[in-house]
Amino acid sequence: MGTGAQAGVSLPDPHPDGHAALVDGMLARWAQATPDRAAIIEGDHRLRFGELERATAQHAATLVGARAPATVLLEDHGSTTQRLVEFLGIVRSGRCAAVADRGWPEVVRARVRQALPAQPSDICAADGSSPFYIGYTSGSTGHPKGFMRDHRSWVESFRVCIEAFGPEARGCVLAPGGLSHSLFLFGMLLGLWTGGGVVVQPRFSAGRALSSLLNGEASSLVAVPSQLIMMLEHAQRRSLPPIDPVRLVMISGARWMRQRTPQLRALFPNARLVEFYGASETSFVAWMEADENAPANAVGKPFPNVEVDIRKQSGCDAAGMIFVRSPMLFNTYVGAHDETAAVRDNGWLSVRDMGYLDDEGRLCLVGRQNRMIVTSGKNLFPEEVEAVLATFHGVQAASVHGLADAVRGRAVVALLNLGSEIQPAAPDAAALMTWCRERLDPYKVPRRFLVCENWPLTASGKTDHVALAQTVEARGDMQDDSPADPESTPWLQVLR
């Protein structure tokens, strides 16, 4: 076993003292208790906890001496290890780190920089309520939308993660993505806060990730579904053995394709497989054990420190807007934001997701309010149809949209990603339609399908629904002239 996983090491329990109340506060404790343990592993390079604490303190002292602004933009130069050290130094100095995205064009970077305070600051200490991080997501306008978090919100997230997922959450974490993705940054900081350490990758590689796990460098993994699918396919192509050292796989960022759960369980036979639902603005909301037999729209029961309130809206049947209340909510938006911004109400917060609580107390998602399609006078949430299509053999992902239609108002159109399993002959449109009919109300069933060989992804690895919507709108031959008849002939094209 490699030196990074610390699989059998008994880690001291973090206590809710002044150190543990800060995101970076536990570093000094681990530097004193276990100075030679690997804190950050990146390829062949290892930075130990003692070294990390010294580098963090040095960078913080430099910022304090230079009277750096209260918010410092963390640029995308250097290795992931270097960026993480600089991030921790900014936080240690009492300042807030705004994390730039590697993919930003210069005009976007300049706009973000202009929105941040530039005046010198004498801040030199932080408490739980101090902001430490600004992350960015792309709004519907395409301009980065900044969300600010304070120390307390993420420390509470660390604690409830351990409470819900068990002691496995204290192990070394493989976080195969950049700091600009809040999910991977959270995984990195979780590993440093617990003392388990973290394995990082500047850019995701299924082969390198599996090699790290096989070598025992990390005992837990945080990943988005698209990464896990690539890892499963790589393991199958290379006939890799089961990866026994892994004890925890945390899945988030998008809907997990639950029909692949048996394969994931076979690859990581000793791991607890958990899915969790949340958002940049909320942190954790709900979680569940990965289960191929679970309802497609279920995301689990709320975390112990989360309250959920479903607020019904007209025309949405049992579903309503999901509001949550917890100590893990974000502070405020920074810079540009749009109609997708969160809604606040007296301590409650909604990111405009729609859903309901089922009879077992599980939160079930039906979709985003801003993606809802009105077809044949009824409300349709694309996510429900996409989940059904993703269970059809050979379909890795789907994106459902509404196309202007004189009869229905909006006709349902489905774009399909077949991934590496694409065959010369596209799937049968009638079979796709039948598959959907057996699982959906008639008005939700697509009659037009488009197979896309070049599937666009966002910087965080999710399906880029905005780009695919533009693809649909740009194709005049996608017009649906069939009558509003469930027996109408389905239609399919392959877009190369």
Q: Which domain holds residue 437?
A: 372-495
* 3-state SS, residue 225: helix
Residues 360 and 378 in one domain: no
- Token pair for 29: 């404790």
Higher pLDDT pick, 437 / 488:
437
CB 451 within 8 A of CB 395: no
Residues 191 and 222 in one domain: yes
The C-alpha atoms of residue 435 and residue 149 are separated, in whole angstroms, by 43
Residues 80 and 214 in one domain: yes
**Which residues have a Cβ under 8 Å from the Cβ of 262 and sit 6 or more positions away?**
292
| 45-49 average pLDDT score | 97
Higher pLDDT pick, 232 / 419:
232
Q: Looking at the domain assignment, is residue 359 inside a domain?
A: yes
> What sign does the dihedral 388-391-392-395 (CA atoms) show?
positive
Residues 78 and 194 in one domain: yes
Q: Is the pLDDT confidence value at 483 over 50?
A: no
pLDDT of residue 137: 79
Residues 34 and 135 in one domain: yes
Q: Is the pLDDT confidence value at 150 over 80?
A: yes
The C-alpha atoms of residue 355 and residue 360 are separated, in whole angstroms, by 14
**Which residues have a Cβ under 8 Å from the Cβ of 59 and sit 6 or more positions away?**
85, 86, 88, 89, 90, 92, 93
Domains in the chain, number: 2
Residues 405 and 462 in one domain: yes
CB 132 within 8 A of CB 151: yes
The C-alpha atoms of residue 364 and residue 359 are separated, in whole angstroms, by 11
Q: Looking at the domain assignment, is residue 2 inside a domain?
A: no
Q: Looking at the domain assignment, is residue 15 inside a domain?
A: no
CB 387 within 8 A of CB 400: no
| pLDDT tier, 5 (very low <50, low <70, confident <90, very high otherwise) | very low
The C-alpha atoms of residue 35 and residue 287 are separated, in whole angstroms, by 34
* 3-state SS, residue 415: strand
pLDDT in tens, 330-348: 999 997 665 568 899 999 9
* 3-state SS, residue 495: strand
pLDDT of residue 144: 78
Q: Residue 395's domain is classified under what CATH number?
A: 3.30.300.30
Q: Is the pLDDT confidence value at 176 over 50?
A: yes
* Best mean pLDDT range from 149-163, 301-315, 325-339: 149-163
Domain end marker among 318, 342, 366? 366
Higher pLDDT pick, 242 / 474:
242
Q: Residue 356's domain is classified under what CATH number?
A: 3.40.50.12780
The helix (run of H) or strand (run of E) holding residue 436 is helix 429-437
pLDDT of residue 316: 58
Q: Distance of CA 439 to CAs 170, 268, 373, 391, 432, Å?
A: 40, 31, 18, 11, 11
pLDDT in tens, 351-401: 888 899 999 999 998 877 777 787 766 778 888 899 889 889 888 889 999
Q: Distance of CA 214 to CAs 57, 207, 246, Å?
A: 34, 10, 8
Residues 210 and 258 in one domain: yes
Residues 218 and 265 in one domain: yes
Helix 225-237 with 206-214: angle, nearest 10 deg: 80
Residues 406 and 259 in one domain: no
Residues 358 and 380 in one domain: no
- Token pair for 201: 């990758």
Residues 302 and 379 in one domain: no
User: How many residues are there in the chain?
Assistant: 496
Q: What is the DSSP letter of 441?
A: -
Name which of 298, 251, 253, 246 is nearest 267 in CA terms: 246
Q: Is the pLDDT confidence value at 476 over 60?
A: no
Instruction: Give the rounded percent of residues in the chain with a pLDDT score beyond 70.
Output: 86
Q: Cα(first)–Cα(last) distance of the chain, in Å?
A: 45
Name which of 365, 396, 395, 405 is nearest 382 in CA terms: 365
Domain end marker among 332, 366, 400? 366
> What sign does the dihedral 439-442-446-447 (CA atoms) show?
positive
Domain end marker among 337, 366, 395? 366
Q: Looking at the domain assignment, is residue 486 inside a domain?
A: yes
- Token pair for 467: 């780009």
The C-alpha atoms of residue 185 and residue 460 are separated, in whole angstroms, by 12
Q: Looking at the domain assignment, is residue 92 inside a domain?
A: yes
The C-alpha atoms of residue 449 and residue 175 are separated, in whole angstroms, by 35
pLDDT of residue 373: 80
- Token pair for 123: 């801040």
Q: Which of 65-69, 321-325, 467-471 has the lowest mean pLDDT?
A: 467-471
- Token pair for 175: 């976080």
The C-alpha atoms of residue 37 and residue 247 are separated, in whole angstroms, by 19
Residues 358 and 412 in one domain: no
Q: Looking at the domain assignment, is residue 299 inside a domain?
A: yes
pLDDT in tens, 60-71: 999 999 999 999
pLDDT of residue 464: 84
CB 396 within 8 A of CB 390: yes
CB 243 within 8 A of CB 265: no
Number of H helices and E strands in the chain, helices first, is: 12, 26
Q: 128 pairs with which residues across the strands? A: none
Q: Looking at the domain assignment, is residue 5 inside a domain?
A: no
The C-alpha atoms of residue 33 and residue 27 are separated, in whole angstroms, by 10
pLDDT of residue 340: 61
Q: Looking at the domain assignment, is residue 20 inside a domain?
A: no
CB 199 within 8 A of CB 212: yes
Going along 305-396, which residue ranges are E strands? 307-312, 320-325, 332-334, 343-345, 348-350, 353-357, 363-368, 373-375, 378-380
